[in-house]
A and B are shown apart, each in its own frame.
Chain A
Amino acid sequence: GEDVEQSLFLSVREGDSSVINCTYTDSSSTYLYWYKQEPGAGLQLLTYIFSNMDMKQDQRLTVLLNKKDKHLSLRIADTQTGDSAIYFCAENNYGQNFVFGPGTRLSVLP
């Protein structure tokens, strides 16, 4: 079945850039998403990218998609302490269930 993988932890210093990586197996994925989960809260959609795009930028967030390698990344520029959270990568083929990665816990150090 479909699978989405992420590393579980990432630590960066405040002000540096964070890059969270994700790989997926379903080559028919139509949409790829990044969700953010703060402690005790539900997942909040951060951004998404259609599979026919290579890059999407939204303020401090840059999403890169390498469809050939099935690799998705989320770059957060000028990382702040408020960015500390768990980031979930997810893929969805229109009409099918979502498949989520295990989540990457981002810790921002002062």
Chain B
Amino acid sequence: GAVVSQHPSRVICKSGTSVKIECRSLDFQATTMFWYRQFPKQSLMLMATSNEGSKATYEQGVEKDKFLINHASLTLSTLTVTSAHPEDSSFYICSAPGQGVNEQFFGPGTRLTVL
């Protein structure tokens, strides 16, 4: 079946640095990808919808200047956490819809730790 990969799977960085997370659809094209964030002991929350060739759509309360999304090709979306702070530490997951009924393919997630 279709696979979505994320890179890196785990990243530790210093406060104030920027971190880029990649989401790739490996054997299918995705004009839309979704970015989620999981807070400790909480559920997955949608952050933004990434659209190939156009601007991302952000959910209410998500700072678009903080979380930069670029969907430059039909198989790649990137999320850049700019000037990361410890409160940005979280598990970030991307997903892409497939062609079939109800299909939604999730990446394995990226755990970001900001020191």
Count of A residues near B, CB < 8 Å? 24
Query: Within the assembled complex, what's the spacing in Å between the Cα atoms of A100 and B4?
Result: 14
What is the count of residue pairs linking A and B with beta-carbon distances less than 8 angstroms?
Answer: 45
Please state if A43 and B46 are interface contacts (CB–CB under 8 Å).
yes
Min CB distance A65 to B, Å, is 15
As a 0/1 sequence over residues 16 to 43 of chain B, the CB contacts with chain A under 8 angstroms (1 = contact) are 0000000000000000101010100101
Count of B residues near A, CB < 8 Å? 18
Task: Tell me whether chain B's interface is mostly helix, strand or loop, or mixed.
Answer: strand
A42 in the interface, Cβ–Cβ < 8 Å?
yes
With A40-B32, A98-B93 as contacts: A45 and B108 at CB distance below 8 Å = no
Please state if B102 and A33 are interface contacts (CB–CB under 8 Å).
no
B44 in the interface, Cβ–Cβ < 8 Å?
yes
Give chain B's interface residues, CB within 8 Å of chain A.
32, 34, 36, 38, 41, 43-46, 49, 93, 95, 101-102, 104, 106, 108-109
As a 0/1 sequence over residues 1 to 40 of chain A, the CB contacts with chain B under 8 angstroms (1 = contact) are 0000000100000000000000000000001010101001
